[in-house]
Structure 1
C-alpha cells in the first residue's frame, strides 16, 4: 500500500524548483480569505470516512470573464430581429477573443499554481485559456484552497468528494470565478419520471383523445409517436435540405443512446429513417459511455435519439456523452473525474471549430444545490454558444414548482419557497416545458408525481428580452399577489415554450415502454427548431442562434399555440397556472413550424 501511495504521489505532484515569478512575488504572500461557502443540499451527509489524501481530483479553474458585458451585448444584438446585426454570429476565434483573460490574470494564477508545486506544463488550457484543468491529489488541493474535503453520501447511495467552503489569496479573488469540484452538489438528473411497461393501459380518467379527424388517425391514447408529433407541430411535409445542418443532444453520467433500440424504434415508427440508427455520431467526453455494441442503454439516451431521429431525418445527428460523477467509489484509490459534467461538456464543445446549430439537453437539478459562481460560469458558457449561432435548449424540470415536502431554502433558515431549476433558469438558454392531451394543457401524471416544471430564478435577474416584452410582469400582475414570498418576482422566468411531454413510446432493451417528462418535450422542440435552422441554411441564411430575443419580440405569440389550461402543481400548492398569452406554466405554448417559416420569409411548403 505504501508503494502504491508513493507512486501516486510522484505521478500527481509536478514540483518546480524555480522560485515564484519575481514580478508578482508580493502577491504570493497575500493573506487568504474565503472565496465561497455553500450549504450542503438536502439528501447529502458527510461520511465518517475522509477522502484518501492521494485521491486524484480533476480540478477546473474558471477565470473571470471581465468582458462579459460586451459579450452579452453582442449576443443580444445578433439575436434580436430588429437589430441590424441580426444573425451575424461570431466565429469561435472571435468569441475566444472576448473571453480570453488578460496577461496579468494569467500570470498571477500561474504563479499561484507554481507556488503550490504545480508545473504550468502539466495544466490543460481551454482554447481561450479561460479554463485551466489539472489533476491533483486531495491533500494538495486542500492546501491550495485552504479547505478540507469530505466524502459526502447521498441518500440514494452515491458519493462525492466536496467541501462547504474554500479560500484564495485575496489578490486572486478578482481573477477567478469558480474552482470545481468544491461546493457544487449538482446531480444533473435526466428529466424522466415514469416507465410504464404496458402502454395503453391504466390510463388517467381524464386522458382524452384528439379532437380532429386527422389527429385521431395519427395520435391516440396509447402514446406519442413521431408521426403524431410531426402532424401536431406541422413538420410532416418538410424534409431537411441543407447538408451542413445538424442537431445534437447531450447525455451524462453513463446514459447511452443504443443503436439497436433506435433501429427497432425507427423501423416501427419511421421506417425511412432506420439508417440513422447506425449513422449518427457518438462523441465521448471525459470518459463518457458510448454504445460500442455491448454497452447497455439509458432511458434518457434512448428517448433522445428516437425522438430526434423520428422528426429530423435525414439531418446530421450527434450524441455527446459526458462522464463525471456520481458514481464515485471512495474505497478505490484510482484517478477519478469528480467534476460537474456541464463544465467538461462546455469546454469540449467550445473548443470545436464547428458545432451543431441546435443542441438539446434534458438534465437539471434544483438551482439552490449549485453555488452561484458555478451557475454563472456555466451560464456564461451557454451565452458563448449562442453568440456563435447555436440554439441551446434545456428541459424545464419534472416537479412543477417543486416536489411536495422539499420546498424550503437551503441556507439554514428553511424558508418556504418554490424551487427553481438549473440550468433551466439560465437566461441564455431556451427552457422547454411539457404538455399533454389534445388540445394541449400543462403536463402532469399523478401516478408518478410528474408535473412540467416552471419558476423564477433566485440567481439570475429577469433578462432584457423578458423585461422589454412586458409579458412576465403582466403575468405576475395577473396573479394578484398569489404566492407572494414563494418566488422571486424579479428573476428570470421559465419555461419559454413547451411541447408534448407525456406518454412517449420508446424502445428500451428491445421492449416497448412509455415515458413522461420534459426530457421528451425538449428534444421535440429542438427538433422543430433544427428544421427551421435547416430551412434558413438551405436558403443561404444563418441559423437562428439564441432563440429567446426572437421569441419575446413577436415570434412566440405568432408561431406558438397558446396553452391556457393546467398548472405547474407542486410545493403542496396548485402552482402557477396557464393563462392566455405567455405564462410561467407553459411559456408561449407549443410550436407551429409552418408559421415560423412564414415569419422568416421562407416557403413553408418546401420539402
Structure 2
C-alpha cells in the first residue's frame, strides 16, 4: 500500500471529456499557520514568482511493490538493486502529463517560450507575476514573517487546478508549503544556551553537564555510555574485512560542524588508532565545516555522530561526512537528495526557493556555484539526526520526498533517521490542537517526519536503567529525553509492518481516545528499532560531557549495519539496502533485544508503553549484532 499522502494528490477520479470546460478543483489546502509565523501583508501583484509544477511521476503506485521485490528476504530478487538510470526511467513523468500541463499553461495565456522543462522532466517552470499566478491557481498570495528570525515567506492558503490537469501534478511551489529548513533531533541539552538562527536552527543539544572523571569500566554504563558499553550491549566485536568496497555516510547541516581537536581528544581516550583521522568530506552546495562558532550548540550534534560512528566501524573503515548548505542560507533534505541522486534534482526547476536552499546563493558570502546534482554515489548506509514535525510540511511535499527515499532503497541504500526526543510530542515539545495548529499545551500526539515515512528506518532510544548492569535488559529512554514514536497522520501502514503493529494494537491497545492519536490501525507506525540514547560521553569544546538523544541512537545503528554490509561484501554479496521488510520478517524475530520497560510520555500523557514484540516506543528493540550478522550472511 502506498503512503496516504500519495493518495491525497489524486483529487478527482476521472478526467472530463472536454478539457476546455474542465472545472477547477482544490489541489492543496493549508488549515493553519506553522508555529511562529504571522500574516504581514498581501504580496505585490507585479512581483515575480518562480512557479514550479511538480509533475506526477509514472509508476509511483508500484513503488512499494518494486521496493519489496529487492528488499524482502523471501523475494527471488532480494539484493538485485536497481541502477540510477533504471530508477530515473521507471519514474519519469509521462509525455501525456508534460503535454497536458503545458497545454493548460499556454491556453491560459502563458507564452510557450517562457516555459522550461527540467532535464529530468519532473518539473515545469515559469516565472510568473503574482497576478498571473493568482489567476492560474485561483488563489491569493500573502507575505508572512517569522516571530523569532524576522524571515519573510510567501505562501497561499489553498490553490486550485483544472480537473483535467490535477491528476498530472503532484504539487505546485510556491504555494501552501512553509519553511522546510531543518531542525536537529538533538542531542539533548538541559543547560542554558544562546539561540542559533536560521539556517539549520536546532532544538539545542541536551547536555546534562561536564564530567571531570571518565568512567571507562563496564559496570558504570548506567552512568556513562562509551564505545565499550555499546559493544558490550549489542555484541559488536568485528574487524572490517572489505572496507575499500564499503561506505558509511553521516549527514550534517551547516552551521553544525565537528571540531577535529574534539575528535582527537575523544579518540585519545577510546581509539588511539583514530587520532588525527578525519571523515571524508563531501561538501554540498558550498558547505563548510565552520570553526568560527563553537560550543555545544554548533558542535554537539556533529561531534557526537562522528565520534561514535567512526569509533564503532574502527579506523579501517572510512566514514563520509555529507556537510550540506552554505553558511548564509543553509539547506533542506531536498538539497542532500539532489546531490545523492541526479534524477531527483534539476538546476532549472527541482527545488522550491522558499523551502529549499537555492543556488547560486545571492546572499553575501553565499555559494555562487550551481547546485550540486548527483555529485557522489550514495553511501551504503546514511544516518541523519535532523527532522521536522509532520504537520510542518504538506502531504504533497512529504510524499514526494518520501518517494525519493524509496528510490534510494531501490538502489541499495539504507536510510536511517532518528525518531525524535519528545515522546509522542513533536520537536520543541509541541503537540497538535483540534484545528491542526501546534502548541506546547496541545493534547494531540504529534508525529515526526521523515520518521513517519515508510521507506526509511526510524531509530528510537533506550537506556541502561539507573543502577542496572550492562548485561541487564535495557529500558526505553526516560532520562532527559523520551523516545519519539507513534503513528503518522500522512502515510499508510506498509505491508511489512502490518502483522507486528496489528499484534500490538490487539494485545496492548493504548488507553487513549481516538481524538488524540491515530488509532485507525492503517497508518505507518514508528520507530522501527532502537539503540541506547542516554548518558553518552562526548568531547566538545575541549571538555567531556554527557548528552542524550535519538541523534546518538541513529549513527550507532548505522555503524552496526555498516559492519554487517562489510561482512556481506567480504564474501561477494551485496549491501543490505532497505532493511525494513527484512527486520520485520519472521526469520529475524529473534535478531533484536526486546525492550519491555518504559514509555515515551508527551502531550500531557504517559505516552505509549514498551511491550513484548514491536511497540511505538522502541520498535522491534535493539540490535543483537551476532544474530543479525549470521542472519544477513545467510541471505542471498
TM-score class, shorter-chain normalisation, is 0.7 to 0.9
Instruction: For residue 245 of structure 2, give the secondary structure of its aligned residue in structure 1.
Output: coil
Partner of 1:282: 282
Which of 154, 157, 166 is 1:161 aligned to? 154
Structure 2 Cα separation of the partners of residues 228 and 28 of structure 1:
68
Note closer, same or farther for the CA distance 1:388–1:474 as it changes in structure 2 (3 Å cut). Answer: same
- 1:124 is displaced (CA, Å) by 4.1
Residue 477, structure 1, aligned to residue 468, structure 2: no
Note closer, same or farther for the CA distance 1:258–1:151 as it changes in structure 2 (3 Å cut). Answer: farther
- 1:463 is displaced (CA, Å) by 1.1
CA contact (8 A) 2:48 2:129 kept: yes
Structure 2 Cα separation of the partners of residues 424 and 409 of structure 1:
22
CA contact (8 A) 2:81 2:411 kept: yes
Structure 2 Cα separation of the partners of residues 472 and 410 of structure 1:
28
CA contact (8 A) 1:46 1:150 kept: no
Query: What runs of 5+ residues in structure 1 fail to find an aligned partner?
Result: 1-25, 203-208, 328-335
Note closer, same or farther for the CA distance 1:260–1:413 as it changes in structure 2 (3 Å cut). Answer: closer
- 1:146 is displaced (CA, Å) by 4.1
Structure 1 Cα separation of the partners of residues 437 and 421 of structure 2:
25
Partner of 2:355: none
Deviation per CA, 1:517-552, whole angstroms, max 9, x where unpaired? 111111111111111112111211111111110011
Residue 125, structure 1, aligned to residue 156, structure 2: no
Note closer, same or farther for the CA distance 1:511–1:364 as it changes in structure 2 (3 Å cut). Answer: same
The equivalences for 1:124-273 within 5 A come to 124-126=118-120, 129-131=121-123, 142=134, 144-157=136-149, 159=151, 160-185=153-178, 186-192=180-186, 193-194=188-189, 195-196=206-207, 198-200=209-211, 215-216=218-219, 219=221, 221=223, 223-252=224-253, 254-273=255-274
- 1:156 is displaced (CA, Å) by 3.5
Residue 102, structure 1, aligned to residue 105, structure 2: no
Partner of 1:93: 85
Query: What runs of 5+ residues in structure 2 fail to find an aligned partner?
Result: 1-17, 190-205, 343-373, 465-469
When normalised by structure 1's length, the TM-score is 0.81
Note closer, same or farther for the CA distance 1:473–1:260 as it changes in structure 2 (3 Å cut). Answer: same
Instruction: For residue 601 of structure 1, give the secondary structure of its aligned residue in structure 2.
Output: helix
- 494-503 or 296-305, which moves further after superposition? 296-305
- 1:584 is displaced (CA, Å) by 1.4
The equivalences for 1:384-463 within 5 A come to 384-402=407-425, 406-411=431-436, 416-437=443-464, 438=470, 439-446=473-480, 450-463=481-494
- 1:282 is displaced (CA, Å) by 2.5
CA contact (8 A) 2:185 2:551 kept: yes
Residue 72, structure 1, aligned to residue 29, structure 2: no
Residue 346, structure 1, aligned to residue 357, structure 2: no
Partner of 1:45: 37
Instruction: For residue 376 of structure 1, give the secondary structure of its aligned residue in structure 2.
Output: helix
Note closer, same or farther for the CA distance 1:502–1:240 as it changes in structure 2 (3 Å cut). Answer: farther
How many residues of Structure 1 are paired with residues of Structure 2 in the alignment? Answer: 546
Structure 2 Cα separation of the partners of residues 120 and 536 of structure 1:
51
- 1:135 is displaced (CA, Å) by 7.2
When normalised by structure 2's length, the TM-score is 0.77
- 1:420 is displaced (CA, Å) by 1.4
Instruction: For residue 457 of structure 1, give the secondary structure of its aligned residue in structure 2.
Output: strand
- 1:492 is displaced (CA, Å) by 1.0
- 1:307 is displaced (CA, Å) by 2.3
Deviation per CA, 1:447-489, whole angstroms, max 9, x where unpaired? xxx211110111112210112xx22111112234511313223
CA contact (8 A) 1:116 1:144 kept: no
